[in-house]
């Protein structure tokens, strides 16, 4: 009986150790994933101050569309970015991949305001062949000294 | 683009002069019977003109896809411009021909709906096709040239000649094939330098077998909202319009002298801003009846959806999600108006709000004149830039270029080439000057596919539809949806220079001017059938008939336009 208990105890310790190991390996992916979801939730909720902590996509592109905003006024640029881009909440993460020690790639779906799946089709007279309809979008998240940053901007529909 | 295949436009808004025209006997009755069954149309307009209670009768249905069905190029998403059949034609023996443009072919059906085969058309890109005299004429891009191809009814190419529009300093965009007042086959094009349409002569009526002139018809403008139709000096009909914004077209006559006319009238800001009525006149000039083509019922817009049989019976092609129906229109003695222009001033369509246009409250609300808008829009069109192979780069290694689809006009170029305008770039917001500077800095021109957002305005340069309107309005970059935040809804018949026709999530066009038939617009778009290019992706100037906008586009003006 005591021997059986010892074996069970040993198994338990091994399983726990393995679990802890896996948990350690995945924690960065999970944190990157959380950062991605949080970033889009904050943008969607107009909490641009907080969203700024997760913004890694730069401001040059955003500033290009609003040259009257100072390049240093990141809050104003992020606010404007949600006029230009679709700041929607994450609906699903279809896949996640660790590209390197500090780079993660997610394939993301978004929800429209009415809860339906966000779909982006061809624009401006283009054909499906030229601009295929998309429902999932790739997002890179980088691990930096200050935390996890979302490197890509929200979806754009002309 | 007139809705009727052989339509010729006789009068536009506020035209005061009498437009004297002669109708041509068009040889539907002599079409070749080589391949088509000898069947008569199954209906006669004489049977039902006054008693008809339904607007049309379905003759038969056409499936979607496959060998015998109509082709839809893309559909099933809310943000797209689907493409389908472009034209319905009828031979004298009652055979229906559907120009299945998305599949580069003609579909043939007997009058009872039996599929009779296809005719594959010989060009890499087809623009339009029409029956003229005994034969088919096709405008297509073949061996780096736009050509008029003359085909027998069994598809044999009889000859093919390059199309040569008059010299112009502007871009020339194809609108439609049609028959003009003299009975000649012409290609209507829009010339951006003239900001107007021009008819390019293709085939003279004198060269078409059995073509003959018919009785002269005059459209006389009695006043701003009343037209008279005169035949041989006698008034046969008086038509009152609800608005001054209307058009009246007369179609080539049948051999017995019967003919059809079509009136279009811009009404209000509803989903159907145009009242569209076909009028059928007998050989004696008497009005036999009227019908309203069910254009708004179309699942996918058909530019030339109505045609007449040799006996004057009117037919229409109605597209549906599962295919298409061929219907016979019921003629009626009178039609009640579907929409009457609102007496309400355009500005009252939305709540009256005082807008601060100083730019202090909102930097995107600054007074902008219509002439400044036109000047800016034309600056795009008149731009000319020599592009290197790097600028046109087709296969670039960077992440930003990975998804790039080079603008169509670059395809096949092997050396530095000068291009007009500014190319289309998904997400682009460049002015002509910044585009030119970007090219001098070895950046890449345009992207007709979708771009990574991070790449906009960095490695690529160009402009998309909403970016173009944003620049013309002199506001921050906006989208087709967010432009509405700076817009006021207006009556369609009040559209003026600098206003927009917007289809949020899909496309936006900048209006130059309108007439009873359609609108002249500037737009940044792709796939424009332009002279000198198979397709052109970038800022262009075009004319669209109202049917193109039905049920999709709404009219707006910039809140601070002056």
**B23 or B513: which leads in pLDDT:** B513
Cβ(B444)–Cβ(B393) below 8 Å: yes
Would residue A5 count as lying in a domain?
A: no
- Domain total in chain A: 1
Q: Is the pLDDT of residue B12 over 90?
A: no
Q: Is the pLDDT of residue B20 over 90?
A: no
**Rounded to the nearest 5°, which phi and psi values hold at A33?**
-60, -45
Would residue A144 count as lying in a domain?
A: yes
Mean pLDDT of chain B: 80
pLDDT for B300? 82
Q: Is the pLDDT of residue B218 over 80?
A: no
Bridge partners, residue B392, by sequence: none
Question: Percentage of residues in chain B with pLDDT exceeding 90?
Answer: 43
Q: Which domains does chain B have, with CATH numbers?
A: 8-329 (2.120.10), 346-558 (no CATH)
pLDDT for B45? 32
Q: Cα B299 to the chain's mean position, in Å? A: 16
pLDDT for B95? 92
- Residue in B424, B427, B448 nearest the CB of A156: B427
pLDDT for B329? 94
Q: What is the CATH number of the domain that holds A60?
A: 3.10.450
Question: What is the C-alpha separation between A52 and A68, in angstroms, rounded?
Answer: 20
**By CA distance, what is B468's nearest residue in A?**
A158
Would residue A8 count as lying in a domain?
A: no
Tens digit of pLDDT for each residue in B271-325? Answer: 556 778 899 998 888 899 999 888 778 888 888 899 988 888 999 999 998 999 9
Q: What is the ipTM of this complex?
A: 0.76
Mean pLDDT of chain A: 84
Q: Is the pLDDT of residue B85 over 70?
A: yes
Q: Which residues of B touch A79 (CB under 8 A)?
A: none
Would residue A157 count as lying in a domain?
A: no
Would residue A15 count as lying in a domain?
A: no
Cβ(B363)–Cβ(A68) below 8 Å: yes
CB contact under 8 A, B465 and A85: no
Would residue A14 count as lying in a domain?
A: no
Both tokens of B66, joined, read: 């496959």
Question: How close A130 comes to chain B (CA, Å)?
Answer: 5
Tens digit of pLDDT for each residue in B236-260? Answer: 888 888 777 788 888 877 777 788 8
CB-CB neighbours of B378 under 10 Å: 19
CB contact under 8 A, A133 and B80: yes
CB contact under 8 A, A124 and B427: no
For A91, the domain range is 28-150
Buried b (16+ CB within 10 A) or exposed e, B437-448: ebbeeebbbbbb
pLDDT for B201? 94
Q: Which residues of A touch B409 (CB under 8 A)?
A: none
- Residue in A60, A125, A151 nearest the CB of B458: A60
Would residue A108 count as lying in a domain?
A: yes
Q: Which residues of A touch chain B, with CB atoms under 8 Å apart?
A: 57-58, 60-61, 64-66, 68, 80, 83-85, 119-134, 151-158
Mean pLDDT on A133-158: 90
Tens digit of pLDDT for each residue in B116-150? Answer: 999 887 777 788 999 887 788 999 988 889 999 99
Q: Which residues of B touch A68 (CB under 8 A)?
A: 363, 476
Residue B107 pLDDT grade (very low, low, confident, very high; cuts 50, 70, 90): very high
């Amino acid at each position: 009986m005591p021997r059986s208990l010892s074996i069970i105890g040993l198994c338990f310790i091994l399983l726990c150790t393995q679990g802890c190991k896996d948990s350690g390996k995945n924690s960065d992916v999970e944190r990157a994933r959380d950062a991605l979801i949080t970033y889009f939730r904050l943008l969607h909720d107009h909490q641009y101050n907080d969203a700024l902590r997760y913004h890694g996509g730069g401001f040059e592109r955003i500033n290009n569309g609003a040259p009257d905003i100072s390049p240093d006024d990141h809050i104003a640029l992020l606010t404007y970015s949600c006029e230009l881009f679709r700041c929607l909440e994450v609906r699903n993460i279809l896949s996640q991949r660790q590209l390197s020690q500090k780079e993660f790639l997610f394939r993301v779906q978004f929800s429209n305001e009415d809860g339906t799946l966000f779909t982006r089709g061809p624009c401006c007279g283009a054909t499906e062949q030229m601009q295929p309809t998309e429902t999932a979008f790739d997002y890179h998240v980088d691990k930096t000294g200050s935390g996890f940053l979302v490197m890509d901007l929200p979806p754009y529909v002309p | 683009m007139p809705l009727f295949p052989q339509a010729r436009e006789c009068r536009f808004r506020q035209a005061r002069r009498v437009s004297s025209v002669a109708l041509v006997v068009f040889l539907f009755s002599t079409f070749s019977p080589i391949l088509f069954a000898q069947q008569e149309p199954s209906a006669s307009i004489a049977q039902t003109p006054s008693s008809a209670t339904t607007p049309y009768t379905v003759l038969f249905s056409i499936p979607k896809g496959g060998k015998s069905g109509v082709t839809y190029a893309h559909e099933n998403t809310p943000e797209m411009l689907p493409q389908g059949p472009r034209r319905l034609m009828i031979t004298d023996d009652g055979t229906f021909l559907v120009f299945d443009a998305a599949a580069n072919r003609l579909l043939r059906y007997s009058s009872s709906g039996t599929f009779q085969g296809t005719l594959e058309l010989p060009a890499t890109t087809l623009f339009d096709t029409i029956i003229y005299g005994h034969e088919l004429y096709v405008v297509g891009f073949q061996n780096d040239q736009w050509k008029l191809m003359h085909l027998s009814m069994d598809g044999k190419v009889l000859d093919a000649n390059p199309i040569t529009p008059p010299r112009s300093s502007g871009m020339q965009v194809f609108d439609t094939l049609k028959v003009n007042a003299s009975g000649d086959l012409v290609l209507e094009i829009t010339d951006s330098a003239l900001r107007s349409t021009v008819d390019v002569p293709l085939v003279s009526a004198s060269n078409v077998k059995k073509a003959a002139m018919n009785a002269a018809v005059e459209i006389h403008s009695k006043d701003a909202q009343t037209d008279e139709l005169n035949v041989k000096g006698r008034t046969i009909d008086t038509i009152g319009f609800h608005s001054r914004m209307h058009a009246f077209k007369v179609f080539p006559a049948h051999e017995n002298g019967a003919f059809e006319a079509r009136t279009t009238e811009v009404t209000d800001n509803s989903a159907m801003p145009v009242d569209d009525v076909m009028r059928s006149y007998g050989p004696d000039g008497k009005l036999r009846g009227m019908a309203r083509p069910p254009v708004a019922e179309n699942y996918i817009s058909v530019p030339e959806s109505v045609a007449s049989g040799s006996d004057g019976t009117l037919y229409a092609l109605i597209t549906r999600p599962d295919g298409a129906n061929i219907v016979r229109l019921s003629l009626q003695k009178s039609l009640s108006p579907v929409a009457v222009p609102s007496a309400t001033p355009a500005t009252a369509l939305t709540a009256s709000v005082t807008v601060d246009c100083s730019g202090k409250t909102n930097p995107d609300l600054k007074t902008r004149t219509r002439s400044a808008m036109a000047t800016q829009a034309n600056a795009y069109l008149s731009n000319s830039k020599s592009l290197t192979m790097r600028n046109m780069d087709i296969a670039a290694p960077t992440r930003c270029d990975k998804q790039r689809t080079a603008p169509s006009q670059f395809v096949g170029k092997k050396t530095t080439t000068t291009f007009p305008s500014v190319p289309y770039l998904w997400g682009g917001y460049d002015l002509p000057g910044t585009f030119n500077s970007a090219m001098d800095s070895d950046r890449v021109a345009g992207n007709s596919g979708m771009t990574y957002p991070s790449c906009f305005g960095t490695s690529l340069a160009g402009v998309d539809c909403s970016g173009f309107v944003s620049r013309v309005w002199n506001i921050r970059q906006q989208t087709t949806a967010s432009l509405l935040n700076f817009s006021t809804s207006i009556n369609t018949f009040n559209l003026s220079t600098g206003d927009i026709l917007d289809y949020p999530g899909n496309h936006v066009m900048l209006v130059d001017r309108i007439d009873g038939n359609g609108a002249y617009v500037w737009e940044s778009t792709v796939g424009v059938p332009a002279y000198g290019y198979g397709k052109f992706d970038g800022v262009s100037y075009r004319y669209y008939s109202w049917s193109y906008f039905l049920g999709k586009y709404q009219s707006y003006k910039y809140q601070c336009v002056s």
